[in-house]
Amino acid sequence: MDLTTSYMGLALKNPFVASASPLSENVDMIRRLEDHGASAVVLFSLFEEQIRHDRDAMEHFMGLGTESFGEALSYFPEVEDYDVGPSQYLELIRRASAAVDVPIIASLNGVTERGWVDFAKDMQAAGAKGIELNVYYIPTEMYRTGTQVEQQYLDVLRAVKKAVTIPVAVKIGPYFSSFAHMAGQLDAAGANALVLFNRFYQPDFDIETRSIVPSLALSKPEELRLPLLWIALLHGRIKASLAATTGVHSSVEAIKYLMAGADVVMSTSALLQQGPPFLSRLVADVSGWMLKKGYTSVTQLRGSMSQQSVPDSTAFVRGNYIRVLESYKART
Ligand SMILES: Cc1cc2nc3c(=O)[nH]c(=O)nc-3n(C[C@H](O)[C@H](O)[C@H](O)COP(=O)(O)O)c2cc1C
């Protein structure tokens, strides 16, 4: 069975990628992910705020701004003790790249285009084969228009693209008034892949303590529907590769995403719950299903259920919605 795929210009042995998660904090775990079949590993995100904090602190420490921050300087550690997020992150890229054969994709999480994006260069120099740029932004300002928000995404992407020669993927959420247009703009701005979708952190309330509960729930398979829809709609219409993230808990979801047109299928929740052997099962189960159905390659499977491939292209949009509602009326 030929499971090979190409993702943002990287030749991968199969379409199963370990997405950004705490599992990648540890090189032994990255090795285990590779051993169980991961064709690439996306590291957890390094945040713009971490890079900025590091640089601000270093500037003060090196004497810039010492007049105004003289007293505060005593709080800074000695240079040799200065072990902060960004340098550790680069070290992880170096060690992981040396430990495994599969590509290591570094993840940058940011929303502005100044003062930190050149860190992408350091990631490339450390051995990252690609960068996943997670633009995790919740626009709450009432004066900002949709166009301004979209421009911000494009500005940060262009700035990162300018800093590196390795491919850059953009991981985004679905909340744009015209997602197809946004995808087209990111494609035109040079995104080598779109990673669909970010699951936005949605805090809960504890009504007894009347406090906000920060919780990050793991996904469920049913959550694949929205990314599935958009991958099926975008397949064949943009140059950028498509990565599916959300809800892959078995071969069924992985096959659906590939049929919709995903170049790779990513997993975090299932890996956190079932550990790296989940990937071995995914490789075996997807291959077994393909064999049974007469497929010989992932290329053959990819996009076979995309909007461009199905006989009724309205099946993904309004036409089918109306049909579904009608069928409920007929039943009652
Ligand atoms: C505990 C946890 C940590 C995560 N950390 C990151 C991260 O650092 N950067 C990122 O882009 N996504 C992060 N994600 C999101 C995942 O990469 C993934 O996109 C999301 O969980 C949906 O995929 P899943 O359904 O396979 O879990 C995290 C998710 C979880 C559950």
More confident residue, 225 or 66: 225
* Residue 193 near residue 167 (C-beta atoms within 8 A): yes
Residue 82 has pLDDT above 60, yes or no: no
Which amino acid, 49? E
- d(Cα 203, Cα 79) in Å, to the nearest integer? 38
Residue 59 confidence (pLDDT) = 63
Residue 257 has pLDDT above 90, yes or no: yes
Other CB atoms within 10 A of residue 149 CB? 17
Residue 55 confidence (pLDDT) = 75
* Mean of pLDDT over the chain: 90
Output the CA 268–ligand 1 centroid distance in Å: 6
pLDDT digits (tens, 9 = 90+) for 168-225: 999 999 999 999 999 999 999 999 999 999 987 788 899 999 999 877 789 999 999 9
Query: Collapsing DSSP states into helix, strand and coil, what is residue 199?
Result: coil
Ligand 1, atom nearest to 219 Cα: 25
Which amino acid, 299? T
For the chain, the 3-state helix, strand and coil shares in percent, each to the nearest 5, are: 50, 15, 35
**Whose C-alpha lies nearest to ligand 1, atom 19?**
245
User: How sure is the predictor about 326, in pLDDT bands with cuts at 50, 70 and 90?
Assistant: confident
Ligand 1, atom nearest to 245 Cα: 23
DSSP H helices, 62-114, are: 66-69, 85-99
**Whose C-alpha lies nearest to ligand 1, atom 30?**
21
pLDDT digits (tens, 9 = 90+) for 137-154: 888 999 999 999 999 999
Mutate to test the pocket of ligand 1, among 199, 252, 278 (most ligand atoms within 8 A of CB): 199
Residue 65 confidence (pLDDT) = 46
User: How sure is the predictor about 331, in pLDDT bands with cuts at 50, 70 and 90?
Assistant: confident
Show the tokens assigned to 247: 């809800």
Residue 112 confidence (pLDDT) = 87
* Residue 105 near residue 132 (C-beta atoms within 8 A): yes
What H or E segment, with its residue span, contains residue 147?
A: helix 146-163
**Whose C-alpha lies nearest to ligand 1, atom 10?**
20
* Residue 264 near residue 18 (C-beta atoms within 8 A): no
Residues with CB under 6 A from ligand 1: 19-22, 44-45, 107, 134, 171, 199, 216, 218-219, 245-248, 267-270
* Residue 316 near residue 229 (C-beta atoms within 8 A): yes
Residue 328 confidence (pLDDT) = 84
Length of the chain: 332
Q: What is the pTM of this model?
A: 0.91
